[in-house]
Chains A and B, each alone.
Chain A
């Protein structure tokens, strides 16, 4: 069953409310791009600037996110990686003082255009956070299907199907299939993080943003998440912020290096790690600072 069928029935009003946001038929768009031989771009930031009051977190960054590829964002702490990531699904909307200028295109449409509902954007651009965030009062099952159940989808068979699929995709099914009813907080940290990923996958987004998804996990759990990212990129566009340069080198196809709010360099991971064009990038990668 296609999930979008359910949403269109459920939310005719929302579509009316955002006439500026009329997604093009994605299949058409990508077929065209594939035929032209260039990698398909799922999202694209254009001259994106994020300010907190008078402090500029991200300065005039332009960066493409390719479909079915992993884009890693690396750089020292406080250099705007997370700020940039959060701008990609309008997470800054809730931060008082935060001001975003420039454009972020999702399938060619600016998500910051007037009257675009951030909720519709976030259904297409999912996010996984640094710390696992299972909803405290919900069971594992309810956590996974929260994004569907809480917007009014009650079809049990469909929810069961989505739950199993998402948990399998997140490589968690075998570990929790016998205790889907136990609290989301009762499983280990690494499992909780995969639960958070399953929850993001359940709503079938187009892009998955990951903000240091392994930084609070042990090495074994981290490697499971990395394997998972490799699997997921067959279907999704993934953007991952990481402090761990080896991780960026292992999982990503493209890497952007952020330094003090600037995107210093962006390119294929192989090239950036072996033959960076900027001195700053080289210094960071070789451990001279950061």
Chain B
């Protein structure tokens, strides 16, 4: 038996260790946010949100330059990805949670987890093979498909866990009044789990929005706005994560600053999505 003093000391040490790990978790986040903002704030201006990038000469000669084409491109490519990923991911999630006895269920579970763990750049390769090669051009569509591959397994898992929070008795009640099984799922289970589903979409979206690797040989990048908006879907298009990378490895100091600014925009975008997801989750708990 240890003395009370010894037990108190031990308790104090354990709490200190927990505080230490909390600090270690928060430090990189604070450093990243702080450093990105300090370095990028100088490039944030109205031009930054209204002008396209153009050639390096523009920035070096002080002519107006910005990243509007990357911001719009990100929205277009991410939207394509979400539109493709939500139906497929939700469908797979419904299979995972509602049809446990189905022959494909165990296979789907393994493959979905594998897809989730697969490096994103390989998903880009897949999109390259199935979209870019046949179309003969890099495109926002191919980028969207690559991002959909990133989102699908996350959405499927989130959908599964959201649906599983709805008690089994609700499904039986639906079946007991003679509803077909898919009708029970669509009309009673999915609506009841909607907050969880939307949270899952936002998390998947935020994750995909930050991906640069799968876009490198799908949406490819572009220094200019396309002449027509359809060019964003069917032609090479710029995205923020990838533009950030290109600006960072460029040899021009002005572009480096713009890269940091792109980082700020991307951070705000992703943090806003995650915060939205958090708020929804909290609302659900109430």
Interface residues of A (CB under 8 A from B): 89, 91, 94, 96, 119-120, 122-124, 126-129, 131, 133, 135-138, 146-147, 150-151, 196, 199-200, 202-203
Contact = CB atoms under 8 A, between A and B. Distances in A.
Contacts of A89: 176
A199 B172 CA distance: 13
Contact of A129 (B176, B178, B181): B176
B179 interface: yes
B172 A96 contact: no
B177 A136 contact: no
Q: Which 8 A-B pairs have the closest CB atoms?
A: A123-B178, A147-B177, A127-B176, A133-B173, A137-B191, A122-B178, A136-B192, A135-B188
A123 B179 CA distance: 8
Nearest to B169: A133
21 contacts: A94-B101, A94-B172, A94-B175, A96-B100, A119-B180, A126-B176, A129-B173, A131-B169, A133-B170, A133-B172, A135-B192, A136-B191, A137-B188, A137-B194, A146-B174, A146-B188, A147-B177, A147-B178, A147-B179, A150-B187, A199-B177
Interface of B: 100-101, 166-167, 169-181, 183, 187-188, 191-192, 194
A150 B179 contact: yes
A54 to B, nearest CB: 18
Specify which of B170, B175, B181 lies most central, judged by the most chain A CB atoms within 10 Å of its CB.
Answer: B175
A68 to B, nearest CB: 21
Contacts of B100: 96
Contact of A135 (B101, B173, B180): B173
A196 B170 CA distance: 11
Specify which of A96, A123, A150 lies most central, judged by the most chain B CB atoms within 10 Å of its CB.
Answer: A150
Nearest to A136: B192
A146 to B, nearest CB: 6
Nearest to B190: A137
Given A123-B177, A146-B174, 20 more contacts: A96-B100, A119-B180, A122-B175, A122-B177, A124-B178, A127-B172, A129-B169, A129-B173, A129-B176, A133-B167, A133-B169, A135-B192, A136-B191, A136-B192, A137-B188, A146-B177, A150-B179, A151-B179, A196-B173, A203-B178
